[in-house]
Structure 1
Amino acid sequence: MDLKDSRDRYGAVVVSIHWLSALLIVILVVSGFRAANTIDPIAKAAILRLHVPIAIAVLALTALRIGWWWGVDRKPAPVAGSPRWQQRTAQAVHLLLYVVILAMIASGIGMMVLSGAAPIIFGGDGARLPDFWSYPPRLPHGIGARLLLALVVFHAGAALHHQFVRRDHLLRRMWFGKVRSQARAD
């Protein structure tokens, strides 16, 4: 597998970033909802000690992916035979994923800065966590989490539809290894 994308598939760099980001985003969504629903401040701080560094890792991976495509590589062509509306929908969902991810990170940073919670979370000095709902970035962070979850489900559902209903082997484009020709794949 090449490091860079080809006309028909994604390269090793983008595939690695994609699947690592996907795993980390699932962890972020689960830990974020869990933290929001946790009353015990010690348990909430423990969850946030996991949540915040993973969010920073997702920011780094997202910036790397955007920079990779702007400066180093080009995306593969759309899936052959896909109607134009599906191509446009896929582009819109991907763009929204990036926008929501970046907005979530910005609102999370905003909450940490405005609330002063970072020293409490990472310092373990026993101080009480602030009420994050008292800070303006909390509302967009919560809305963004739900939107991110919906986009991820839609994105995964579309990929599974391509793979198992249309049987166009879309998932092979975003996986490691060589692509077999369509005639040999079936």
Structure 2
Amino acid sequence: MKSTPTKYGSVAVTIHWVSAILILVLLGSGFRATSLTDSAAKEAILMIHAPLGATILLLTLLRLFWWWRVDQKPEPSGDDPAWQTFLAKAVHVLFYIVILGMGASGIGLFVLSGAGDIVFGAGPGPLPNFADYPPRIPHGLGARLMVALFVLHAGAALYHQFIKKDGLIWRMWFGSTDTGTEK
């Protein structure tokens, strides 16, 4: 369950991959909802988007608690240049900041606009224009930043897997293989 100095544990791996899938679904549904003009279609998407957003917020808080109180992250691979190690840490910290900010701004949008009542059936009416509410700006900027971070993160993983061929990607996968390569 816990990480070793060279590999992430099953709890961290599960949170990572569930989070990655949910973030992709959230980005797709969020960008789709933004492009719609039909209130009913947008409402249907938000009925999925909002609970998944709350789920990723809770998973992120769980992950932070896990690292703070229960587990330790594996050591850096050690053979990367200092700038790559710094960039990797920066991307991970930014992921946490953006996810927490997206959660806060999403909750703010629902509370301030009254959309929560509409989306979850407590009140009738068309959805409000979210652009009229201040949390919409950081929520939209956060989504775009999340795409950039996702591309950087996935690109780095692919670089390690296919260019460096160091098996680093196996640190964040299930099973007992430490690096995915034979020594």
TM-score when scaled to structure 1? 0.95
Counterpart of 2:127 in structure 1 is 129
Q: CA deviation at 1:179?
A: 1.3
% identity of equivalent residues: 54
Counterpart of 1:70 in structure 2 is 68
1:81–1:135: structure 2 CA closer, same or farther, 3 Å change rule? same
Q: CA deviation at 1:183?
A: 6.4
Letter in 2 for 1:79: S
Letter in 1 for 2:97: V
- Find the partner of 2:144 among 143, 146, 149: 146
- Find the partner of 1:49 among 40, 47, 50: 47
Q: What value does the CA root-mean-square deviation take over the aligned residues?
A: 1.4
Letter in 2 for 1:99: I
Tell me the alpha carbon deviations over residues 33-87 of structure 1, each in whole angstroms, 9 at most, x when there is no partner. Answer: 0000011000000000000000011011101100000001110000131111111
Counterpart of 1:11 in structure 2 is 9
Q: CA deviation at 1:178?
A: 1.3
Paired residues, what number? 183
Counterpart of 1:91 in structure 2 is 89
* Unaligned ranges ≥5, structure 2: none
Counterpart of 2:19 in structure 1 is 21
The residue matched to 1:76 in structure 2 has which SS? coil
Equivalents in 2 of 1:84, 1:103: separation in Å? 28
Moved over 4 A (4+): 180-183
